[in-house]
Amino acid sequence: MTVKQLLLEYDKVNERGTLSPGDTLSGRVTVVTDKETKVQCFLVKAKGKAEVMWPEQDRGASLVHSDKKTYFYFEDIILQDKKGDGSIIIGPGKNVYSFTFEIPKRDMPSSYKGKWGKIIYSLRAKLTQSIWQVHKAKTEFPFLTKSEFPFVSKSEMIIIGLKEPQYGTRISFYGSGKVTMNVSSEKMGLKQGETMEVSAEVLNNSAHTVTPKFFLCEKQTFVAQSQRIVHTNAILLGTGESVSAATSRTVSTVLTVPSHLPPTFFNCSKMKLEYRLKVTLDVPLGRDLEIKLPLVILLGQPKPPKEKAKRSWFT
């Protein structure tokens, strides 16, 4: 083996290390050899794609649903032996080759990895010496959409409701008693790392003690041609104070969205990501009462690195 190392790197253009539509993707491929090396073809590829795949059992048969969408594909041939005479040679030692691609200025979703699909943007280098000697290198780069609201259509780009308070009410009967729960949040849109107050007003006219619980619900939807699958996940944020029988109480808490939580998005035809704030009343020997409020998570501002500390959903 004359090729000792094949290293692929790209240049960061901002403090996040992300690339976006319209940016220049540049970098270099480093090839380290111990002697002169004949090359048939040496190239670099840049690709952005969304792909989904999930298994399913249908009448005892195993099926796999899959689909993909390509957002861009570029190829830069650095070296190629078109004549086939072995005249294309890489010298011994360290050899560095630069490349540059222009990312298209179009609406493309951010990088994302979910239960049954992912949106990935990657670079690949391939050096072919012969049919039996092929060297490859791959790296993924984080991609960030330029759409301010990647969860609505272009005709609805300004969403006033993101800053408006949200309310929900439910009433349930347990035996001869009635339980009413009113839930409110300061707004529907919340940036990564941002906090907001959530309140649950409970009027308990039943004979049971009820306890409010707060959840963050995630909904991932994947589409492959005419098939669709949904993956949901509920994260318990915390439990409020119990409300005794024949009493009322308002329980308030502060919700902090983790800075690493992916933002809401709809601008991918193969998958989408949604969130809900769910408040339930845990009722002994009864069906839990629940209220779901829409929650749109927006991209936050990057924060400087700092020492790790324990973080809580409640303050």
Q: How far is CA 131 from CA 38, 128, 134, 135, 252, in A?
A: 13, 7, 7, 11, 67
The rounded distance, in Å, linking the Cα atoms of 140 and 75 is: 16
Task: Flag whether 145 is in a domain.
Answer: no
Do 108 and 170 lie in one domain? The reply is no
Do 117 and 218 lie in one domain? The reply is no
Do 179 and 100 lie in one domain? The reply is no
Task: Flag whether 276 is in a domain.
Answer: yes
Do 166 and 286 lie in one domain? The reply is yes
- Return the CATH number at 56: 2.60.40.640
- Is the pLDDT at 155 greater than 60, yes or no? no
Task: Flag whether 99 is in a domain.
Answer: yes
As a whole-number percent, the residues of the chain with pLDDT over 90 amount to 67
Do 56 and 176 lie in one domain? The reply is no
pLDDT at 173: 82
pLDDT at 207: 86
Structural domain for 116, as ranges? 3-140
Contact between 197 and 186 (Cβ < 8 Å): yes
Q: What is the mean pLDDT of residues 165-184?
A: 88
Q: Model confidence at 312, in pLDDT bands (50, 70, 90)? A: very low
- Is the pLDDT at 164 greater than 80, yes or no? yes
pLDDT at 177: 84
Total residues belonging to the chain: 315
Do 103 and 187 lie in one domain? The reply is no
Q: What is the mean pLDDT of residues 178-202?
A: 92
Q: What is the mean pLDDT of residues 167-181?
A: 86
Residue that is last in its domain, among 115, 140, 165: 140
Q: Model confidence at 311, in pLDDT bands (50, 70, 90)? A: very low
Place of tokens 């780009």: 157
Q: What is the mean pLDDT of residues 175-188?
A: 89
Degrees to nearest 5, angle at CA 143 with 119 and 215: 65
- Is the pLDDT at 6 greater than 90, yes or no? yes
Give the pair of three-digit tokens for residue 204.
């308990």
As a whole-number percent, the residues of the chain with pLDDT over 70 amount to 91
Do 12 and 128 lie in one domain? The reply is yes
Q: Tell me: the pLDDT tens digits for 47-68?
A: 999 999 999 988 778 899 999 9
Q: Model confidence at 167, in pLDDT bands (50, 70, 90)? A: very high
- Is the pLDDT at 306 greater than 80, yes or no? no
Do 186 and 214 lie in one domain? The reply is yes
Which phi and psi (to 5°) does residue 23 adopt? -75, 160
Do 89 and 160 lie in one domain? The reply is no
Q: Tell me: the pLDDT tens digits for 242-267?
A: 999 999 999 988 888 888 899 999 99
Task: Flag whether 38 is in a domain.
Answer: yes
Task: Flag whether 263 is in a domain.
Answer: yes
Do 159 and 270 lie in one domain? The reply is yes
Task: Flag whether 248 is in a domain.
Answer: yes
Q: What is the mean pLDDT of residues 160-173?
A: 85
Query: What's the structural domain count of the chain?
Result: 2
Return mean pLDDT, the chain: 89
pLDDT at 28: 97
Residue that is last in its domain, among 140, 172, 197: 140
Do 209 and 292 lie in one domain? The reply is yes
The rounded distance, in Å, linking the Cα atoms of 237 and 279 is: 10
Task: Flag whether 148 is in a domain.
Answer: no
Do 10 and 111 lie in one domain? The reply is yes
Q: What is the mean pLDDT of residues 11-33?
A: 94
Task: Flag whether 305 is in a domain.
Answer: no
